[in-house]
Chain A
Amino acid sequence: MISLTDFLLVSAALFCTGLYMVVSKNNAIQILIGIELMLNAAILNLVAFSKYDRFNNGGQLFALFGIVLAAATTAVTLAIILNVYRRYKTIDPNKVDKLRD
Chain B
Amino acid sequence: MSMVQIFFYVMSFITIASALLVATGKNLVRSVFLFFITLFGLAGLYVLALADFVAITQVVIYVGGILVLILFAFMLSGKETLGALQQQQKQFISANKIASFFLAALFFVVLVNMLLKVNADKLPWVLHSPTINNVIKPTANMTENIGVNLMTQYLLPFEALSILLMMALIGAAHLSRKEPQP
Contact = CB atoms under 8 A, between A and B. Distances in A.
Interface of A: 1-10, 12-21, 23-24, 26-27, 29-30, 32-34, 36-37, 40, 43-44, 47-57, 59-61, 63-65, 67-76, 78-83, 85, 89-92
Interface string B20-42: 10110000100110010011001
Classify the interface of chain A: helix, strand, loop or mixed: helix
A50 B154 CA distance: 15
B contact residues, range: 35 or more
Given A54-B135, A79-B172, 14 more contacts: A5-B120, A10-B45, A20-B101, A20-B103, A20-B104, A37-B22, A50-B51, A52-B126, A55-B134, A72-B168, A75-B69, A78-B172, A82-B76, A85-B77
B171 A76 contact: yes
B10 interface: no
Nearest to B9: A6
A7 B4 CA distance: 13
A85 B47 CA distance: 39
Contacts of B15: 10, 14
A68 to B, nearest CB: 6
B58 to A, nearest CB: 6
Classify the interface of chain B: helix, strand, loop or mixed: helix
B16 A60 contact: no
Contacts of B42: 14, 40, 43-44
Interface of B: 2, 4-5, 8, 12, 15-16, 19-20, 22-23, 28, 31-32, 35, 38-39, 42, 45-46, 48-51, 53-54, 57-58, 61-62, 65-66, 69-70, 72-74, 76-78, 80-81, 84-85, 88, 96-97, 99-101, 103-105, 107-108, 111-112, 115-116, 119-121, 125-126, 129, 133-136, 140, 142, 145-146, 149-150, 153-154, 157-158, 161, 164-165, 168-169, 171-173, 175-176
